Amino acid sequence: MYVAIEGIDTAGKSTQIAKLKEHFCDAVFTKEPGGTKAGEQIREIVLQGSLHSKKAEFLLFLADRAEHVERVVKPNKERLIISDRSAISGVAYALIQGKIDIEDLLRLNDFATDGIYPDIAFLLLLTPDELAKRLSEKELDGIEKRGEEYLLAIQHAIIEAADLLGIELVIIDATKSIEQITKTLIERIDAKL
């Protein structure tokens, strides 16, 4: 089963992935972008914020997605795969940028993934106040520097993207305690296995 943990920066994805690693010891843990050697390089390029073209950024994410499916997802399709982000985030970012129409966006993602998407995804949903608080407590990367309004728009677009891709999305209140969120994730994943 292929599971994605989705959410905007500071939502707690990394924390929850670490907790899930303790519980699902035999699972394959990965991330998108950056789940492969090529993906790490692509992720660095994007996070540096040096690209001016949103189309270039989108195409780099597609390249990462194709490599990720080929090298990580397909070879492990019989195992539990838990990914920090997925095509859902990629589609969400592209929706916000508005540089490509939805039909082309979906067609290109189907091409990159061979139509392989998460079986279920979880969105760690932040309130505007909690997002502002968390951003104020850290050094911002290239994406986070785009601001709270941008990140909240991405969060909304994640919901739209999951719907467009036909992926089951479970929304979890990211302001709950780490333990409560972990418990919910484990229960929902166990129920699907």
pLDDT tens column, 156-171: 999 999 999 999 999 9
CA separation for the pair 93, 54 (Å, rounded): 10
Cα Rg for the chain, rounded, in angstroms? Answer: 16
Q: Which residues contact 176 (CB under 8 A, 6 or more apart)?
A: none
Position 3 confidence tier, pLDDT thresholds 50, 70, 90? very high
Cα 182 to Cα 124, 177, 186: the distances in Å are 11, 9, 6
pLDDT in tens, 63-100: 999 999 999 999 999 999 999 999 999 999 899 988 88
Q: What is the mean pLDDT of the chain?
A: 93
More confident residue, 44 or 168: 168
Tell me: pLDDT of 137 over 90.
no
Which tokens in the block code for residue 176? 């709950």
% of the chain at pLDDT higher than 70: 98
With tokens 């490599």, the residue in question is 67
Structural domains of the chain sorted by starting position, each given as residue range(s) with its CATH number in brackets = 2-192 (3.40.50.300)
- Backbone φ and ψ for 52, nearest 5 degrees, come out as -95, -25
Query: Across residues 22-43, what is the average pLDDT?
Result: 94
Nearest Cα to Cα of residue 4 among 150, 118, 130: 118
Tokens for 104?
């082309």
| Strands 168-173, 28-31: pairing kind | unpaired
Look at residue 130 in the predicted model and tell me its pLDDT.
92
Q: How many CB atoms lie within 10 A of CB 175?
A: 17
Q: Which two three-digit tokens encode residue 33?
A: 């972008």
Question: What mean pLDDT comes out for the span 97-113?
Answer: 93
